[in-house]
């Protein structure tokens, strides 16, 4: 998430009332999660296991809960609770905006687009030309939709990321300040849910078709011309490359990559990254031929035991 203008390190520290290490005027231009940070971004870290990763990342401002040596060319924001203060920054730069009408005045809707009754379109949403948005769709703030997109009834675009920190009193949610981006010629079925990024974009690539009752987690990037069948659940921060086919009731873990033109057969649990151009099945996931051989061999076990007797 990029800020509307550049800020100084001193100004950012004042927003969250924390100490800092670095020049007062050190430039701060945005905030992002570790996997998408760039120079000028703030990244937060609150566990020693990830200190080095954050300090050595592309981020130049590290929001951290311990005084450490500051790497050259970077700055530190020292906080007793980086998770809380990252939320404060999200709230400051992307506060929730109330809307009292079905289509926010700031929304932009392209020529030829049809919006069916009872659909909600939030603040600063952009919808392209010749789209068809069926009834009871909810499109949250800042969502971007391209041309020739079809979205069926009951789908929700832009819900919060399922991202929590466990505390003694319960779970504390990490606020979401990102977006959903739907490219041209995408089809989305009924009752789908696509969460916005925490700080970046959840993206559905051009020409991809998604069946009913599919969930896509925060910051996931789905490539072009993919097919995703019903009741599939895709976790956050997943990369699905172009022309992947995912059949029904597939589930994935977070942070993995599914290679281009891979085929994931129904009811597979994608527990790790997989190469493109191959077919996969089972939990844990394996190439489908190998998995099906294993299942065939399991059926032979009673016969083998009878021969031993």
CA 214 to chain CA centroid, Å, is 14
Number of Cβ within a 10 Å radius of residue 44: 27
Pick from 193, 174, 239, 155: nearest CA to 33: 174
Cα-based torsion angle of the residue sequence 30, 165, 202, 62 in order, rounded to the nearest 10 degrees: 20
In the annotation, is 218 catalytic?
Answer: yes
State the catalytic residue, choosing from 134, 142, 152, 218.
218
Q: How far is CA 157 from CA 15, 139, 262, in A?
A: 30, 5, 26
Contacts of 29 (CB under 8 A, 6+ apart): 2, 3, 6, 7, 40, 41
Q: How far apart are the first and last CA of the chain?
A: 67
Q: Enumerate the β-bridge partners of residue 252.
A: 270
Bond preceding residue 178 cis, omega within 30 of 0:
no
H or E stretch covering 13: helix 9-16
How many residues are listed for the chain in this entry? 309
Catalytic sites, residue numbers = 218
């Amino acid at each position: 998430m990029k800020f509307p203008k550049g800020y100084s390190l001193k100004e950012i520290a004042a927003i969250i009332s924390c100490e800092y290490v670095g020049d007062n005027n050190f430039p701060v231009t945005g905030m992002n999660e570790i996997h998408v940070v760039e120079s000028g971004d703030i990244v937060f870290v609150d566990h020693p296991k990830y200190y080095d990763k954050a300090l050595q990342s592309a981020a130049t401002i590290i929001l951290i809960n311990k005084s450490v040596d500051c790497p050259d060319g970077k700055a530190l924001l020292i906080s007793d609770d980086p998770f809380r203060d990252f939320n404060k920054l999200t709230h400051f730069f992307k506060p929730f905006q109330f809307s009292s009408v079905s289509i926010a005045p700031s929304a932009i809707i392209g020529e030829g687009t049809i919006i069916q009754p009872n659909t909600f379109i939030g603040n600063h949403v952009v919808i392209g030309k010749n789209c068809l948005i069926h009834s009871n769709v909810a499109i949250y703030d800042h969502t971007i939709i391209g041309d020739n997109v079809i979205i069926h009834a009951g789908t929700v675009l832009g819900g919060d990321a399922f991202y929590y920190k466990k505390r003694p009193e319960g779970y504390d949610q990490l606020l979401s300040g990102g977006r959903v981006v739907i490219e041209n010629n995408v089809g989305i079925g009924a009752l789908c849910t696509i969460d916005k990024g925490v700080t970046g974009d959840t993206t559905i690539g051009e020409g991809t078709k998604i069946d009913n009752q599919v969930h896509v987690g925060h910051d996931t990037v789905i490539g072009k011309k993919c097919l995703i069948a019903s009741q599939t659940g895709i976790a956050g921060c997943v990369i699905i490359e172009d022309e992947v086919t995912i059949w029904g009731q597939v589930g994935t873990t977070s942070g993995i990559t599914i290679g281009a033109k891979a085929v994931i057969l129904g009811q597979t649990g994608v527990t790790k990254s997989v190469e493109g151009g191959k077919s996969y099945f089972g939990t844990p996931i394996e190439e489908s031929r190998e998995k099906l051989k294993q299942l065939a061999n399991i059926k032979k076990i009673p016969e083998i035991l009878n021969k031993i007797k």
